[in-house]
Amino acid sequence: MRQHVELVCPAGGLPALKAAVDHGADAVYIGFRDGTNARNFPGLGFSAEEAAQGVDYAHARGAKVLVALNTYPDAERWQGAAAALATAAAVGADAVILADPGLMAHAARAHPGLRLHLSVQGSATNRHAIAFYHRHFGVRRVVLPRVLSLAQVLNLVGRVPVEIEVFAFGSLCVMVEGRCALSAYVTGKSPNVHGVCSPASAVRWEETTAGRQSRVGGMLIDRYQDGQPAAYPTVCKGRYRVGGHVYYAIEEPTSLNVIEILPELVRGGVAALKVEGRQRSPAYVARVTKVLRAALDACCADPTGFAPRQEWLDELNSMAEGRCHTLGAYHRPWQ
């Protein structure tokens, strides 16, 4: 029997939303143009009018729109967070993705008809934590952190009263799902409050005789030679001199890709696969969505006979960080 697993794709703006929907996304997730979501970069995000347009476009083609409101508002940001929640409800969002328990409680009271998803930023990794959010706030789906093995993920499915969504492709993070002490230390802004890792105001590029250099908050992150591709600088993925050697001392750039374990995820009852990357271009979103749509359709139609195609892997590797992929924590056979 064919099983349906949602493909949830990122949209940093209206063109990316249309690219995801047109290439087969079952749902897209967006954020507003403010600090209420964890991708608060200049040029990204939706106004209320654009969000309404995006909802209309997606719904007309059978796709859903989820709104990420997954930062933790402090006292001075509470009114903005509550207003963003009201906007999400007003434009007809199919669900909001929340992390802060206070905002969840407010959503349950003020917008009882609005479906709530627990953000990966909530870091719920066991059935008791997940059941807590379901019991107290009516959460219907949880996005699992990327620190669980495949066996641990599958052990949760069926033992919790909510749907399970897992990450399928995109960048990884060595921190606890964006709760980055490194970025906050270097820039003075916390990703979980201000919604951005390596805020643009803290990033500097320098042309030197030794090559192009990137800095975050004054700290030298990397140096590139002529013709070498330069990535957006983040503290965790910089190259540093340690013990006389220059290398990726904290985390090497690579991307998560779960195509080879799709059968286990589909048969295991996972409800949705999520693609990271609201900061990515519409062209990137279109290409990734197209490949994963083909792979997921093939797997859902025949999980037993499914085998990854080399052209799928090659296409995704061409867009991956470091031009390579990993299963990350999913591949922990001892857990």
pLDDT digits (tens, 9 = 90+) for 198-222: 899 999 999 999 999 999 999 999 9
Tell which residue, 235, 208, 205, has the closest CA to residue 221. Answer: 235
Q: What percent of the chain clears pLDDT 90, i.e. is strictly above it?
A: 83
Q: What percent of the chain clears pLDDT 70, i.e. is strictly above it?
A: 98
Q: What is the mean pLDDT of residues 96-100?
A: 97
Contact between residue 94 and residue 67 where contact means Cβ atoms under 8 Å apart: no
The pTM for the full model equals 0.94
183 pLDDT tier (thresholds 50, 70, 90):
confident
Three-state helix/strand/coil letters over 217-228: CCEEEEEECCCC
On the question of pLDDT at 2 being above 70, the answer is no
Q: What is the mean pLDDT of residues 151-165?
A: 96
127 pLDDT tier (thresholds 50, 70, 90):
very high
d(CA 146, CA 239): 23
Residue 178's pLDDT is 65
3-state secondary structure of 176: coil
On the question of pLDDT at 332 being above 90, the answer is no
What number of H helices and E strands is found in the chain? 11, 15
Residue 1's pLDDT is 37
CATH homologous superfamily of 6-172+254-330: Copper homeostasis (CutC) domain (3.20.20.380)
Determine which of 14-18, 52-56, 147-151 has the lowest per-residue pLDDT on average. Answer: 147-151
Residue 230's pLDDT is 86
Q: Which residue has the tokens 């359709």?
A: 297
On the question of pLDDT at 333 being above 80, the answer is no
Return the domain boundaries, the chain: 6-172+254-330, 181-247
